[in-house]
Structure 1
């Protein structure tokens, strides 16, 4: 991912950065309604800062169309985060994402800073620490693990 939109941020002040790609099958809704409200709640509570939010559409013929948040006419409440975007996604990122998508589908690509973790991350870096591994445990795997422990 590009760091183009983060020039003004000092590395030591940033929390961990994450991204997700949420794919919607052809004819299904995009990031609206309930999901948009939850995203906005995280932003307004200061839990995260949205760095980028883009929408990728893959045609049945494999063609790719990308909409940036500012390109969408009816943003509704999502318009609040438009001014804070650092636009960190590069064209190649979007091409790679589209390659993994099903023809006819759409995807929301969200990049965010975990602002809640920034003070901890800054303290670790000031004490000479550095991140050497990171990952996610799928919710389903954790639930299955906890269920099997009791047997």
Structure 2
């Protein structure tokens, strides 16, 4: 991905995720690829990197770019836009979190929907000083606790 100072100023926040699939629970139907393609086509996200990691029982890791695999049709259209920004060291760090015998999908994306706000914040002199993500389990637990306390009153 070639970037100029102007294009860097126009980028939205960039996130990544690793989704692990344990042995026996690897039900790859193409549904995930279809949903990812919809997000990219809608301009919600821009996929920067996408790969599959397989961690063998001995702990060794194999990484596959999308062009190494029998691609799902929806992902083929994304390939032209993928920058492949993850380095070998990044893959090793991500794979360290995996359990032997599992397969994981790794996605790096730009939050295109947030790019105009991020650009405006930078032009105003703002800098990102913290970011985070609240796990859905924490939100569910909080909602359940609130409901329980309401029922107790």
Same-fold status (TM-score > 0.5): yes
Deviations 1:32-59 (CA, angstroms, capped at 9, x unpaired) = 4221111111011100000000111111
Q: Which residue of the other structure, out of 15, 18, 22, is the alignment partner of 1:18?
A: 15
CA distance in 1, matches of 2:71, 2:44: 25
Q: Which residue of the other structure, out of 76, 81, 86, is the alignment partner of 1:79?
A: 76
Distance verdict in 2 for CA 1:52–1:100, change over 3 Å: same
Unaligned runs of 5+ in 1: none
Deviations 1:80-122 (CA, angstroms, capped at 9, x unpaired) = 1000001111101111111221111111000000000000000
State the SS of the aligned residue for 1:88: coil
CA distance in 2, matches of 1:72, 1:123: 39
Superposition deviation, residue 149 in structure 1: 2.5
State the SS of the aligned residue for 1:35: helix
Distance verdict in 2 for CA 1:19–1:75, change over 3 Å: same
Superposition deviation, residue 131 in structure 1: 0.5
Q: Which residue of the other structure, out of 85, 100, 124, is the alignment partner of 1:88?
A: 85
Distance verdict in 2 for CA 1:117–1:32, change over 3 Å: farther
Q: Is the 8 A contact 1:61 1:103 kept in 2?
A: yes
Q: TM-score, normalised by structure 2?
A: 0.88
Q: Which residue of the other structure, out of 128, 132, 135, is the alignment partner of 2:132?
A: 135
State the SS of the aligned residue for 1:66: strand
Flag as ranges the 4+ runs of structure 1 deviating above 6 A: none
Distance verdict in 2 for CA 1:32–1:132, change over 3 Å: farther
CA distance in 1, matches of 2:104, 2:4: 29
Larger Cα-atom Rg: 2
State the SS of the aligned residue for 1:85: coil
State the SS of the aligned residue for 2:117: helix
Superposition deviation, residue 30 in structure 1: 6.4
CA RMSD of aligned residues (A): 1.7
CA distance in 1, matches of 2:65, 2:27: 13
